[in-house]
Amino acid sequence: MKRQDIQCDSQGQLRHFLTIEGHKRETLTQILDTAENFVTVGNQPVKKVPLLRGKTIVNLFFESSTRTRTTFELAAKRLSADVLNININTSSTSKGESLLDMLHNLEAMHCDMFVVRHEQSGAAHFIAQHVAPHISIINAGDGRHAHPTQAMLDVFTIRKHKPDFTALRVAIVGDLMHSRVARSQIHALNTLGVPEIRAIGPCTLIPPYLQQMGVHIYNDVREGLKDVDVVIMLRLQRERMDGALLPSELEYFQTYGLTQEKLALAKPDAIVMHPGPINRGVEIESSVADGPQSVILEQVSNGIAVRMAIMSMVLGRKPSGEEGEA
């Protein structure tokens, strides 16, 4: 079975959201359009809509996370779902219970969705293949493989500032070797019709398969940033690096860190993004991270609306535009 087949039911509706790969442009656009309906929910006196009232969503984070787990939890609560956060370190898996036994016990509690983050690539697919038919899975990041909701909130943020994807030149800078975010971003940007995607970084952090994805490779950051519309900086993922791939963080910053001087090579209205958490003085200098071209905090806010959209679509309920307060 192809991986993308498991994500949709026989009518083509989202059942799981595991990866960007295999989705058509229409599906991604539908997610972005649906998210637009949820952007203002956070500004309401009562920050809720009743779309998922009666549903139970379980956050299963086998990797530590603050921002991603919080935005998933907020998104579920703003849809009026009941939310359980399972502390994996104190769960029964620490007593020897298998992952599948734990999942089957949660199924028996009549849960409706698992949001899964795991350090192993393919974990979300594995779980999706073994849960009961009424359970939906959303991948909140698996190993080096995919982080599809992050990619969708990134392209949502880009569309807010640059509505025409077919006229964009996007640069992704840094540790693409270990980044599940970058893989998902590239799939999303390609699917939405972005004509030029650039990967910028040292040879040790640029995987060779990117060229097969239509990405242009640059080892010279100044050459790569020329006339781009969007600059996406990536975190150095030291926890995933085997061996010495970099001489030092100081030298990395001097060569690839985004400074005002380097950003000036991009178009004057270029936006600066970072999926976080950012390392100031390593990947980006503070004057850029907090500067007028930065949309980093917008990405965080947009993450709630985009995750609300995906959750509502996966559970088969779309906003009518007339949502009432719960």
- Give the residue numbers annotated as catalytic, written as ranges: 67-68, 95, 117, 147
- The 3-class SS string of 229-278 reads CEEEECCCCHHHCCCCCCCCHHHHHHHHCECHHHHCCCCCCCEEECCCCC
Q: Helix, strand or coil for residue 32?
A: helix
Residue bearing tokens 């699917």: 191
Cross-strand partners of 199: 172, 217
* Dihedral angle computed from the Cα positions of residues 163, 22, 275 and 61, in that order, rounded to the nearest 10 degrees: 140
Helix, strand, coil percentages for the chain (3-state, nearest 5): 40, 15, 40
Query: With contact defined as beta carbons under 8 Å apart, do 176 and 199 qualify?
Result: yes
For residue 113, give the nearest of 313, 326, 322 by alpha carbon.
Answer: 313
Which pair of tokens denotes residue 146?
């995919």
